[in-house]
Structure 1
Amino acid sequence: MDGVVERHSAGLDALEKIARHDLARLNYPAANWVPEKTGPDGRRVLDVLVVGAGMCGQTVGWGLMREGVRNIRVIERNTHGHEGPWNTTARMPILRSPKHLTGPDLGVPSLTFRAWYEAQHGAEGWETLYKIARLDWLSYLLWVRKVVDLKVENGVSLLKVEAAGDFLQASLSTGETVLTRKLVLANGRDGSGGFRWPSLPSFDPEDPARAGRVFHTLEDIDFDALKGKRIGILGVLATAIDNACTALEAGAREAICYARRPHLPQVNKSKGVSFPGFQRGQGMLDDDWRWKIYTYMLAAGSPPPHESVLRAQKLPGFAFRFAEPWLDMRIEGDGVVVKTARATERFDAVLIGTGFDVDLSRRPELASFAGNATLWGDRRSAEEAQANAEAARYPYLGPGFELVEKVPGRTPHMGDIHLFNWGSILSHGALAGDIPGLFVGSTRLVQAISHAMFRADIDRHVQNMFAQEDPELAPTDYFVPRDKRSGTL
């Protein structure tokens, strides 16, 4: 692991014992209650396949186990210690979220970040902690995974999912094909789309010539290779600034962030919706309210954390260029020429910090479903969808984060695919990707899957109830064998 060390200390060892005892007190993991299903080949069918073992995927995985849905697999395309962005594309020293937030613990006090931190640094260390170090958060997540005994299959990707009789069929990068009743896509911020690239006349992101010269900020970047170089960055929000700082700290000579805006966004509106009522309630609102809330949020944007801006201000070679949009960009020789609204600049390398798009048609694994998935634009007037084209592309999800058919009956089992990634934000709010909403979102998803599993087998559960035989009175003189009882008992 690059920069991440598996933590071992007397304090953590003691906390692990406490946490495991707490879980035992809560009867975790619950016994599996879901009736077994078999496929045409006689093999047992998975109940849930969770794709992604970052913060969201692992929390859903152990939430399912706690609920007694045990026949699951959790797969992760990256190697151990590289799940999620924390040790890959996240380049900020500390998290944006306050240190006291919970979520991955699912309400177990001994599994909170605070408990993990205090076990190593004491109560005084917690009191003096400002915010959580990025790699500490990753180490904490890996510790939680270990304590709850969640098995993760690293180095395994989902290539394709399609309907197959009574189930979904998932093709994996290992060459394996598995049948599953439910699929959870907890595959990150770009899991419902892909990188957003600028539309510029002379630039094609598929051009192999961009290698080593034009990077998206969400790609792997060798910052040491940028030492001594002049870097242009398109974007002025958190990711763009953190990448600029990382380049300068690695020895880049200059890093200039460009924006169309005349100044940085000033207010983080998401702080106004980070309370339980909003987190639990937004997904229950009617379409008009949900559309109104998140078209506003998307348009408002969010300022970079002041910590990121202060970090940048201290670095020689950093600069903002406001009200200077890029008009064109071309790769030329060993550099990149950028034409802005004010000048023509030459850079040794360019970083594109424009985030990601939500667009299900860009996800190859969903090719057989995407064309019939209801989008928010399908639920709004043509005028509204045109005026808010980005919001219109978001998938319109059901109450359990499930995809909804545009034409009912055309794509069987679409409702068995649950998007627990950033594509869910218009339907449910920021419950799948941001720490503040993780507890609400993961609990809602797990309960929805549990309810669906129960409903699907209600006949069997009721027959089991009828057949239940618990000879409570056998040790007494009043026990009556079943065949001699009156009535139905």
Structure 2
Amino acid sequence: MSECQIGLEQLSKRIKHDLEMLQYPPADWVIPRNTKEGRPVLDVAVIGGGMCGLVATFALLRAGISNIRTFDTNEEGREGPWPKYARMETLRSPKTLAGPALGLPNLTFQAWYEAQWGLNAWGELGRIPTQTWMEYLIWYRKVLNLNIENGKYVEAVDAAEHGFNITVKDGSTEDIVPVRKIILATGREGMAEPRIPAPLQDFLGLQCQHSSEDINFDSLDGKEVAVIGISASAIDNAAAALEAGASSVHILCRAPAVPRVNKMKSTVYAGFTNGFPRLSLEERMNLLSYVFNYRVAPPQNSVQRVWKHKNVKLHLDAELVEVKKEKEKLLLLTNHHGIEAEHVILGTGFKINVNAPRLLKSFAKKIKTFRDSKSLTHNKNFGEFLDFPDLGLDFELQEKVIGKAPYLKNIHEFTFAATVSHGNVSGDIPAISDGADRLVKGITASIFKEDFPEHLCNLYSYEEPELFGDEIPENKRWWPEL
């Protein structure tokens, strides 16, 4: 056994002891439910086994809700964006953040890293390599013994008397699973669609791809490449193209200047995390719109990774106005430039759209968004934020029309789509534990309230004695009577 393995083994024992002292796992307290046909109903289905799905699953188990299943479409070890379209060399978040540890020091990335390579190595580490972070999440799942059902695709969610029936596909087999509540932990793209500039809509395909797609960078060797956007994702994809041997990379940016500041880095503190949802809707919208319009700086190391190459050209104030096909190339016409490219990569991010998830298609049009708030629609500064779902205090979806879809309150949106309602607690690393704690406390309270009559009956029938009648010899009066 190597020193790294020995270190992890010792850390695993410490975590086990920590959990035992916290009485984990607690007894399951939820009243079991069955369908009319007698099939057992899951208390919670978690859809998505990446970071958000993992921490939500662990938080449920810590809360004594164990009748759960977590599904992920990817093969084991390929969950989330990290092994796919997250093309940065290192994470953008500082290494010191606790991440999904849920208050357990020994479950942090730092504890995992130090256990393998020591305190000095931790001190020398700059930012966390992306692949190393994925390895940490794989360990997190293993050390907590979280059962993630890989290779299972949730195709549809249909309302039912007991809550929902979810259609789960596993290869050629299909299963209908009755569930009571659902957590959507489907990632940044879960309730969103790629943001595609209108002039490029008709050119999407192998020659024009969004950064979230599976791009064959080896095929870009010797080619002229254009990258749209100056977001972190755009810069990382430009770097990947350059490193793959692209003959040239043109970065086209609508902004008149390169942003230098990431305003959201100033919001990583308890006051903002806990106070943001309590702000008025207009205060929340104004804050997020300010950050969005100010623009977010790409990380320094990503920018340096690109500009160490000589064959890169930045075009500012270059909004696409038209695209033409010219033989084997695309001619990108901006308000100032005409640029030819053999391949185009869109680093334009995602646009929230409650109609995007296929699994919600049967009732997507009934989901309330902020565009349904008449007090907001007059403000053009709010833009795309109006398309975010208007979630309740427990991340639950709400009805567009009261009484038309009451079951929506049992679907909890634990993705970036919760940002306007809850802040940045359900997608990125800094406050993910706070988000999971808030989510599961809400689900726990909701389940208890729904089952209160049964819990009250259990209280009435509880008769385990503290005293057995022989503790006070001269006393003959006891309640309940002996």
TM-score range, shorter chain: over 0.9
Give the one of 248, 252, 257 matched to 1:258.
252
Distance 1:380 1:121 in 2: 56
Secondary structure of the 2:198 match is coil
Distance 2:52 2:339 in 1: 41
1:176 pairs with 2:170: no
Give the one of 409, 412, 434 matched to 2:428.
434
Distance 1:287 1:383 in 2: 12
Distance 2:25 2:76 in 1: 23
Q: Aligned Cα RMSD in Å?
A: 2.1
Q: Deviations over 1:232-259 (max 9, x none)?
A: 0111111011001011112111111101
Paired residues for 1:182-197 under 5 Å? 182-197=181-196
Is the CA contact (8 Å cut-off) linking 1:385 and 1:392 kept in structure 2?
no
The 1:63–1:382 alpha-carbon spacing in structure 2 relative to 1, beyond 3 Å, is: closer
User: 1:216 maps to what in 2?
Assistant: 210
Q: Which moved more, 1:129-138 or 1:338-347?
A: 338-347
1:111 pairs with 2:110: no
1:316 pairs with 2:310: yes
Q: Work out the percentage of aligned pairs sharing the same amino acid.
A: 38
Q: Alpha-carbon deviation of 1:479?
A: 9.9
Q: Which moved more, 1:334-343 or 1:431-440?
A: 334-343
Distance 2:143 2:376 in 1: 50
Alignment length (residue pairs): 476
Q: Alpha-carbon deviation of 1:387?
A: 4.3
The 1:182–1:383 alpha-carbon spacing in structure 2 relative to 1, beyond 3 Å, is: closer
Is the CA contact (8 Å cut-off) linking 1:376 and 1:393 kept in structure 2?
yes
User: 1:329 maps to what in 2?
Assistant: 323
1:76 pairs with 2:68: no
User: 1:403 maps to what in 2?
Assistant: 397
Secondary structure of the 2:242 match is helix
Q: Deviations over 1:404-451 (max 9, x none)?
A: 112111113111111111111001101111111101111000100000
Distance 1:453 1:367 in 2: 26
Q: TM-score, normalised by structure 2?
A: 0.94
User: 1:340 maps to what in 2?
Assistant: 334
Q: Deviations over 1:40-70 (max 9, x none)?
A: 2211101111111111111000100011000
Secondary structure of the 1:425 match is helix
Q: Which moved more, 1:17-26 or 1:334-343?
A: 334-343
Is the CA contact (8 Å cut-off) linking 2:377 and 2:386 kept in structure 1?
no
Q: Alpha-carbon deviation of 1:159?
A: 1.4
Is the CA contact (8 Å cut-off) linking 2:158 and 2:164 kept in structure 1?
yes
Q: Alpha-carbon deviation of 1:386?
A: 4.2
Unaligned stretches of 5+ in structure 2? none
Amino acid at match of 1:35: I
Is the CA contact (8 Å cut-off) linking 1:104 and 1:141 kept in structure 2?
no
Is the CA contact (8 Å cut-off) linking 1:163 and 1:412 kept in structure 2?
no
Paired residues for 1:226-375 under 5 Å? 226-375=220-369
Amino acid at match of 1:79: E
Paired residues for 1:146-157 under 5 Å? 146-157=142-153
1:91 pairs with 2:90: no
Q: Deviations over 1:92-130 (max 9, x none)?
A: 111111111012111111111110000111111111111
Distance 1:323 1:339 in 2: 12
Distance 1:478 1:407 in 2: 63
Distance 1:478 1:444 in 2: 47
User: 2:155 maps to what in 1?
Assistant: 159
Q: Deviations over 1:356-382 (max 9, x none)?
A: 110112222212222121111222436
1:133 pairs with 2:129: yes
Amino acid at match of 2:30: V
Unaligned stretches of 5+ in structure 1? 1-6
Is the CA contact (8 Å cut-off) linking 1:203 and 1:329 kept in structure 2?
no
Is the CA contact (8 Å cut-off) linking 1:236 and 1:320 kept in structure 2?
no
Q: Deviations over 1:286-308 (max 9, x none)?
A: 22222222222222221101111
Distance 1:203 1:369 in 2: 27
